[in-house]
Structure 1
Amino acid sequence: MLSKITPCLWFDDQGEAAANFYVSIFKDSKITDVSYYPESGHEIHRGREGKVLMVVFELEGQSFTALNGGPHFKFTEAISFQIECENQEEVDYYWEKLGEGGPVEAQQCGWVKDKFGLSWQVVPKRMIEMLNDPDKAKFQRAFEAMMQMKKLDIGELEKAFNGK
């Protein structure tokens, strides 16, 4: 375990597929452990012996657990993961890869939902700087421009920020 706090993502039975999907997208990533349902406890967990129970994986140094816990719970936008991107190329990459197979109607203001229902915020570092600028008029223009976008466009955000 890399950190004291590890997000545990609850899936019906797609935890291994999701972990493989995420590891394929993020460069510094790997699956570190896979565990399987035992025979014991079936009356409680209802998992089939030998099926994947949990997958532990790392994305860019952050540890995650994917739990195949059944269909009881679904992801909502109340929890999302933010990816700080250095440039437009990085924004485009993560947006395209994470959004592949996900619902298009869930895309707004830099948020994209993946095919497993997990929400991601694909945010350029420059946007964060704009939102923290002490000039409230610049902040307001950048924020208004962001609210009109699906995928964030750094060039268009800069234009709005600078009043052009």
Structure 2
Amino acid sequence: MRILMVGLDAAGKTTILYKLKLGEIVTTIPTIGFNVETVEYKNISFTVWDVGGQDKIRPLWRHYFQNTQGLIFVVDSNDRDRVVEARDELHRMLNEDELRDAVLLVFANKQDLPNAMNAAEITDKLGLHSLRQRHWYIQSTCATSGEGLYEGLDWLSNNIASKA
């Protein structure tokens, strides 16, 4: 399964990728370009593309859209100042023709932080209920503990399989 993982810079994409791949927390630096790893889970092979989220390189995201079956959009649940920016980037992407068949999984990350918005609040702020033609799901996660990550993969595997 080809999975594209995007989101604003510092949302936790690379930490999530390597927590899934290695089961450990790695020290990360801002991703310029991409990381790609194959994650095996329940006999399913997920090829996960983690693409840098800094504003200067977001225009490059579209080069990764082709053949994407599942889109993981990672949100820093603690970053209230940029949730509108996250919403705008998400909706801009979902309007792209190449992603019309991709299912959407939102990781509401950094749930371990005391001021983190919960999944319901993130759903509201990202305008997920307006996505009528899109199969989507939101999962609360904590990349450093791994909480919620495999539940997200379960949802992806069940929902991509059902579309195939």
Same fold per superposition (TM over 0.5): no
- Between Structure 1 and Structure 2, whose CA radius of gyration is higher? 1
- The TM-score, its normalising length taken from structure 2, stands at 0.31
- The TM-score, its normalising length taken from structure 1, stands at 0.31
